[in-house]
Amino acid sequence: MNPTPPRERICMLTGGGYPYRRDALSGWCRSLVEGLRRFRFELLTVTDREPPTAPAYPLPLNVGSSRAVAIAGAAKVKIERSESRNERNERRRTEAELGRRAASGLCRGLIGQDGPVFADGLRQVAEHPEVLATMPLGDALLEAWRTGDSLPRLSMRDARTAATLLRHALGAVAVELPEADLVHCIGGTTPLLTALGGRWRTGVPLLLTEARAPVARHKPHEERLSPAVRTVLRRFRESVAGAGYAEAGLIAPLSAYHHGWALRHGAETGRLVQVPPGVDPSQYPETAEPESGPAVVWAGSGGPDSGLTPLLAAFEQVVAAVPGAVLHLVGVTAAHEDHCAEQIERTGLGRAVRLHPLPAGRGDRYTRGHVVAHVPGPADPPYRLVEAMMSGRAVVGVDVGPAAETLGDAGVLVQPDDPAELAIAIVDLLRAPERRRALGEAARQRALTRFTQDRVVRVYGELYADLAAPPPPPSFELALAVPAPRAEPPVTMRWLVSERQDG
């Protein structure tokens, strides 16, 4: 009996997602793991919050391990040594010099937007994580800032604040990866830092999927920071993304929108393989519209950065035009229920808005409504839009990110930051049942043609095989001046091939 062939080991690396959180991105990761049984998965999620204690999903048999790491603890690198006083002093001097060089490279690279210089500094941190705690980032920032053009004023206090935030973020570089043949990094800056650190320390191949909108943006809690600190954080994220593009063996953008952004930020054309999102059609069976009064569905976490605020502003106008209309918020996470309730109370919509936790059955998310309002947050991937299309409901989408290319002419697109236009589009569809049913059917057919889960799983299986498989055995091509048919190579050629293979 032949032994079972070894399976390639894939480290699936996320930023606080699968398998510990239930959301659209985690569902996408789960479909890959469960659909690619021929690979063995080591799951790692890296977060700057308290790590989850238990997976939110049952783990299939091809998952070898699952681990969640908080980067706050990762930055505290402690190395036990037995050394003399002189050796300790020499080590400290060496570490101080390494820290100065790393900090200087990082700061000069991100302020001057010089990718190779930044990557060199980041690599030094990855190879010597013990310098994280003491590297003089504040001083290096002030020095690099003086060489920049058109920058906001950076005070000493700003430099200290930015240095603290950068040091915390850089803790992700020190996180150790599980042993694997390939790292599939899915997400943003935090998991990518961990992936880069692992690649530079071990040489493991890297497959990069930018699941969120790649715009280097300010997060809601960063609005209170000074313009200079926000500039540092924005350029840091851009620089990390550029380093990821340079190191990844393959980059799998979700859309032409993501593809174009990667090209503009240094990705090589030959490394890009566009893989649109996909869902399982069987999870979203066609169902008849509800017989209740007019209803709108929105799917999202309900957090401050989820698109909820402009949606509620538009729905106030919808209720005024269509009395009795109801808005169903599905998929609101427990952590954001209070925020949602405060936002709803502020609008005075009351019972016109209903909160629903993430349904156990995916197909139930959109059946409550006649129209789906796709109002995403600035970093939301297009998975919810594809789900809505597959459900067969008419979609009104906000034209941000890849929404236009995903929805095509199978729905209605409105401009961002215009609640009145969004409300008008929703009201028009609520009042036109034949048109919205036609759009719902068109959306489902488009999703069936372009955005199915089996296609995503098949393509990623090929990408994994390309990057994770062992290198092919060496082959040699010998050009003959006078080609002639032979049953076997002549003795001189056999000797030459054997010598090269042995060498």
The DSSP string of 45-99 is EEESSPPPSS-SSPPPTTEEEEEEEEHHHHT---------HHHHHHHHHHHHHHH
Give the DSSP H/E element, type plus range, for residue 424: helix 419-430
Does residue 496 have a pLDDT over 80?
no
Structure confidence at residue 474 (pLDDT) = 65
Query: Under DSSP, is residue 136 helix (H, G, I), strand (E, B) or coil?
Result: coil
Structure confidence at residue 304 (pLDDT) = 80
- Residue 494: band (very low, low, confident or very high) from pLDDT cuts 50, 70, 90: very low
Q: What does pTM read for this prediction? A: 0.84
Average pLDDT over residues 289-305: 88
Give the DSSP H/E element, type plus range, for residue 463: helix 453-468
Is the model more confident about 306 or about 108? 108
Q: What percent of the chain has pLDDT above 90?
A: 58
- Spacing of C-alpha 465 from chain mean position: 21
- Amino acid in position 133: A
Structure confidence at residue 171 (pLDDT) = 94
- Asked if 332 and 359 count as a contact pair (C-beta separation under 8 A), the reply is no
Q: What angle do CA 259, 260, 263 make, to 5 degrees?
A: 90
Q: What angle do CA 154, 155, 161 make, to 5 degrees?
A: 90
**What's the chain's average pLDDT?**
86
